[in-house]
Amino acid sequence: MTEAPSTLDFWYDFASTYSYPAVERIGAAAQEAGVAVHWRPFLLGPIFARQGWTDTPFKLYPVKGRYMWRDLQRLCDSLGLPWRRPSRFPQNGLLAARIVLAGAGAAWCIPFTRQVYQANFVHDRDIADPETLAQILRALGQNADAILEQAQHPDVKVRLRTETEEAERSGIFGAPSFTIGAELFWGHDRMAQAIEWAARGARKLTCDSAA
Amino acid sequence: MTEAPSTLDFWYDFASTYSYPAVERIGAAAQEAGVAVHWRPFLLGPIFARQGWTDTPFKLYPVKGRYMWRDLQRLCDSLGLPWRRPSRFPQNGLLAARIVLAGAGAAWCIPFTRQVYQANFVHDRDIADPETLAQILRALGQNADAILEQAQHPDVKVRLRTETEEAERSGIFGAPSFTIGAELFWGHDRMAQAIEWAARGARKLTCDSAA
């Protein structure tokens, strides 16, 4: 028996509405399938800009935006997830993304990510406000001042740019997205299929190694 | 017990890629749920045009187009549906839509619709060619010449325009779409939820009537 190397890259943007249910559900779903998740915040803004969009398509195409809010409400209802339409949209998730990258995989990064999404899509808070993010870090027992300072370090800024460039090179054009090697899945609606794909790849590798 | 009036409006455009799995699957899925389906062909082109799009977004945004083809291949594989990427995209579905409206709910309309999608997405045939459509009609035992003539009647042309206008008024911006009253669901990914919504509404109505 070989240890199965099944990892899924999970790409999310803190402004992205459909990333909220993904962030809330991916941990348990991936664990059940025996798939490890690499959480990778990035920025959709620069990718949208290169497609000629100066804003989220949900604002550029209001009919699509109206639908999205209703769809997300129904989706969260059906999943039993709390949900309130935020008064600000889209919010600026730059600082939150930098904080996660500054955390470099520390144990608080995932609960921090989930709580920032909850702040935005459940509690209608301003997630661009450093104080909102500092409160979340403090509640997680972290030194908020030190982390906020690290988050502004030039290395972290460069890191977020290179992560975003890698997302774009991977063919990513929306969030959430999931990649397993060169295989891309887009949207919360494809999360289960992406996890299954990762798990199946792992099983296949295990069988190949055993043969 | 009251007979449950559960009807789902199913909106499709013959050029639409994700309408193919919906067309193939909606009949059995809706029947199982006790939901009647009203098949409504319409044209996305005029709706796209009013959003400022001169072509399908899958061509305007090539990165999204590349993803769509791969996603659809995986989707059809997972559903056990035959699939071949067509050499023409998008195809002009105007005549096919007019033929369905000319059929006015005749028994051949649904098998005709499915076979036109198969001609496009399985057999890579030109569905704008009247002869392709005539062959399908003939194979269904219909008088192809008479139906093709009816399809060009001014009443049918007006009908397709008013159907498309109703789609737009319903907030439809893509295909396939599903409506139950004012409730809109977009995409093959929402077909199951739409059918469940229609079935639940029917159950609720039945209970209300019984109370």
Model pLDDT for residues A23-67, shown as the tens digit of each residue: 999 999 999 999 999 999 999 999 988 888 788 888 888 899 999
Looking at chain B, which residue has its C-alpha nearest residue A50?
Answer: B61
Name every residue in A having a CB less than 8 A away from some CB of B: 51, 61, 63-64, 66-67, 70-71, 74, 78, 171, 173, 184-187, 189-190, 193
Q: Which positions in chain A touch B171 (Cβ < 8 Å)?
A: 63, 66-67
Q: pLDDT at position B205, please?
A: 53
Alpha helices (H) in B80-211, listed in sequence order:
94-103, 109-121, 130-139, 144-151, 154-169, 191-210
Question: Who among B51, B184, B189 is closest to A189 (CB)?
Answer: B189
Residues 6+ apart with CB under 8 A from A82: A76, A118, A122
Q: What is the ipTM of this complex?
A: 0.89
Decide the pairing of beta strands A177-180 and B177-180. unpaired
Over residues B96-124, mean pLDDT:
97
Q: Which of A74, A172, A200 to mutate to test the interface with B (most CBs of B within 10 A)?
A: A74
Residue B176 · residue B20 · CB < 8 Å:
no
Q: Which positions in chain A touch B78 (Cβ < 8 Å)?
A: 193
Q: pLDDT at position B5, please?
A: 52
CA B206 → CA A66, B2, B200, B201, distances in Å? 31, 6, 10, 9
Q: Residue type for A94, please?
A: L
Separation of alpha carbons B116 and B109, rounded Å: 10
Looking at chain B, which residue has its C-alpha nearest residue A78?
Answer: B193
pTM over cut 0.95: no
Residues A72-105: tens digit of each pLDDT: 999 999 999 999 999 999 999 999 999 999 999 9
Q: Which positions in chain B touch A70 (Cβ < 8 Å)?
A: 184
Q: pLDDT at position A5, please?
A: 52
Confidence band for A205, pLDDT divided at 50, 70 and 90: low
Separation of alpha carbons B10 and B21, rounded Å: 13
Residue A72 · residue A18 · CB < 8 Å:
yes
Separation of alpha carbons A134 and A143, rounded Å: 9
Question: Who among A67, A184, A187 is closest to B171 (CB)?
Answer: A67
Residue B15 · residue B88 · CB < 8 Å:
no
* SS3 of residue A12 by DSSP: strand
Q: pLDDT at position B60, please?
A: 81
Residues 6+ apart with CB under 8 A from B207: none
Cβ contact (<8 Å) for B78 and A193? yes
Residues B159-193: tens digit of each pLDDT: 999 999 999 999 999 999 999 999 999 999 999 99
Looking at chain A, which residue has its C-alpha nearest residue B48?
Answer: A61
Residues B55-92: tens digit of each pLDDT: 888 888 889 999 999 999 999 999 999 999 999 999 99
Question: Who among A67, A184, A193 is closest to B186 (CB)?
Answer: A67
Q: Which positions in chain B touch A51 (Cβ < 8 Å)?
A: 61, 63
Looking at chain B, which residue has its C-alpha nearest residue A170?
Answer: B63
Residues 6+ apart with CB under 8 A from A148: A95, A99, A130, A133, A134, A137
Let me know if A103 is exposed, middle or buried by CB neighbors in 10 A (0-12, 13-18, 19+): buried
The percent of residues above 90 in pLDDT, for chain A, comes to 84
Token reading at B128: 């704008």
**DSSP 8-state assignment for residue B53:** -
Separation of alpha carbons B73 and B69, rounded Å: 6
Separation of alpha carbons A25 and A76, rounded Å: 11
Question: Who among A71, A171, A190 is closest to B63 (CB)?
Answer: A171
3-state helix, strand, coil in chain A (%, to 5): 60, 10, 30
The CB-side HSE value for A192 (13 A sphere, CA atoms) comes to 4
Q: Is the pLDDT of residue A130 over 80?
A: yes
**DSSP 8-state assignment for residue B54:** S
3-state secondary structure B167-203: HHHCCCCCCCEEEECCEEEECHHHHHHHHHHHHHHHH
Residue B10 · residue B29 · CB < 8 Å:
no
How many whole angstroms from its chain centre is CA B204?
27
Decide the pairing of beta strands B7-12 and A36-41. unpaired
Cβ contact (<8 Å) for B71 and A173? no
Separation of alpha carbons B121 and B117, rounded Å: 6
Q: Is the pLDDT of residue B4 over 60?
A: no
Least Cα distance to B187 among A71, A21, A3 occurs for A71
Residues 6+ apart with CB under 8 A from A187: A18, A174, A176, A177, B189
Residue A151 · residue A99 · CB < 8 Å:
yes
For residue B159, the distance in angstroms to the closest alpha carbon of chain A comes to 24
Instruction: Work out how many CB contacts closer than 8 A connect A with B.
Output: 37
Q: Is the pLDDT of residue B2 over 50?
A: no
Looking at chain A, which residue has its C-alpha nearest residue B188?
Answer: A189
